[in-house]
Every structure is written in C-alpha cells, then in structure tokens.
Amino acid sequence: MKWNDKTVLVTGGTGSFGKKFIQVLVEEHNPVKVIIFSRDELKQHEMRIAGFDQTNLRYFIGDVRDERRLFRAMHGVDVVVHAAALKQVPACEYNPIEAIKTNILGSSNVVEAALDAGVNKVMALSTDKAVNPINLYGATKLAAEKLIVQSNAYAGGRSTRYSCVRYGNVVGSRGSVIPIFIQQRETGKLTITDERMTRFWISLEQGVRFVIRRIEQMQGGEVFVPKIPSMKIVDLAKTIAPEAELEMVGIRAGEKLHEVLVSEDEARTTVEMEDMYVVQPAETPWFGLAWAEKGKSLSDGFRYASDTNSDWFNIQQLQEIIAPLEDAYLSASVKE
C-alpha cells in the first residue's frame, strides 16, 4: 500500500495519538490529504499554530455523534483512523450515557459513513480495558470493537474493510500517571493504589507506527495486538522518586490489578506472529482469516496479561522513558 496517493481522515485528530499519527504520516509518507476531524476548534487552532500547517492538512470541525457530518467529511477519503473517544474512566462512570453516545454510537456512525462514502479501510483504536471489562469505558470499547469487526458483513461486494488495533497504556499521553508522579515527587509522597499493580506500556510513537503498518496489512475483521513490555507501577514510582514515601490508597472503582490484551477465550482464534498477536474473527468467515497460514496457533488456556508477560521494563529502560517526559513537565512548569 502506498500512502502518497491516499486521502486520510483521523477522528479525534487533535488528541495525543492523532497529532503524533499525523506528524509521522505527513513527514514520512506525504499523503495527498489528511483531514483532522474533531469537535474542538481551539485545539485545532493550537495544533495549526504549533506547526501543523502543511498544505495537505485540512481541519474539519465535527463530532462522531453526527453521522451526516462524518459522511460529509469522508467524501473522497481512502483511509479512516478512528481515534475519537471518551476515555477517562471516572468521567465515563459518572456520565455513562455520554460515553455510550461517543464510544459506541459514534463508532457506529463511523462505520455507516465510511460504507456510504466508499472508504477503503477503517482502522479503529481500542484498549486492553476492552478485554473482560469491569468499567464502563472498557465496556464501551468492547462494544465498539464488536461493531467494527462485525461491520465487515455490510461490505458485500464493496471494498470497505474494518479492523481494530488494541494496545495498553500509552506512555506520556494525557491522563498518564507519569506526570502525576513527577508532580507528587515535590511533596515527598507518591500515592499508589496497590503495590501489586502491573500495566502494559507502549510509547506514542510505537503505537502510531504499529497502526500505520497494520493499516497496510489489514484484510478486515482482525484485532491486532502488539507484543509490548509490562511494568510494575511501584517500580515506576521508585524510578521517578526513589526517596519518596509510597502511600497505598486502595484500588479504585473500575480499576484492575492487571490488564489483559488477549483473553483465554480469544486465544482459540488468535495467531501469534513475531511482533504481535492477530485475533481473527471468530463468528464470521468473511475476511481476516488468512493469518493462520502466516503465524502459529496458541496453546489452550493462553492468556496475554500484564502480570504473566515475559517482557518487562528494567530500571534503565524506565529511566529512559521518564527522562524526556520529566524535561517536558519541568519546562511547562517554568513557563507557568
């Protein structure tokens, strides 16, 4: 697949992922046009004056809740990257219908608009919290995954295909715990919900490059899961503030001790590749089933979880992750 003759639309294009995705795509692949679809005109303005002012960028104000606006934005589009979502767990718990409208109904609108507009590929971003969800955010992302995968049934003789990428916490994204720990370090005390807690971690750039590569390879119906390291939240806290006291405050509502990227039930239809797992569609025979010939099947009872992962960050790697984020945080504090 060549990107330099494609028109790409990114929902949630002013978010952390959207900005990095657009930066890499424009600098390295130079598509004909990139449409930045988001509902916040201030963020679009700030993005433009921050250097995102190339001639092949278009800023389109709209909300994924508005199917007609999506259809208008997708006119002539070849690839859609669906990154728009409400993702803060407490906010979703307190405002459940708003999360449902954006994450589920918004994803349905993306599906319908893409099909009607003749888009070739739609790649939606998901999360480890969609696996065996215990909070509303995870439940809405699970529903969105199902919508995306099953929507390949609508394609018929058309060229539109839908797939998902599912990965863990993004280092340094908005809502990341790292800036919080850096700030708390000044008080001499860091708050930890539970000392046993583990998480999958991926950098923003790794996530972006994974999505670009999977769009190039997708057949439709797959959920792509990268192989990424785990870290202990306690180790992260000690790396950021080795002298600080760690206060255990108890696990919060809707929070897990460990995250899962591939469940035992999904493992039956999952293929392992060198750098990823591909969850093939279990219920349908349309697309996305050729991966079985390229990789290997998983053993019964396999579970890809953050606590049993074979790949872990060591202290040096954690320090390398934290350093640029710490510099950015301190620079922002000086400006304030």
Q: Which residues are catalytic?
A: 129
Strands 121-127 and 260-262, bridge-based pairing? unpaired
Burial tier of 299 (Cβ tally within 10 Å: 0-12, 13-18, 19+): exposed
> What DSSP letter does each residue of 8-71 carry, written as one string?
EEEETTTSHHHHHHHHHHHHHH--SEEEEEES-HHHHHHHHHTT---TTEEEEE--TT-HHHHH
Phi/psi region, residue 167 (left: phi>0; alpha: psi -120 to 50; beta: rest), is beta
Burial tier of 160 (Cβ tally within 10 Å: 0-12, 13-18, 19+): buried
Pair of tokens at residue 100: 């449902």
Q: C-alpha distances in angstroms, 318 versus 175, 179, 246, 256?
A: 18, 14, 18, 22
Within 105-227, strands assigned E span 121-127, 161-167, 169-171, 189-192, 198-203, 223-226
User: Would you call 77 helix, strand, or coil by DSSP?
Assistant: coil
| CB-based contact 12:38 (threshold 8 Å) | yes
Which residue has tokens 């992922």? 17
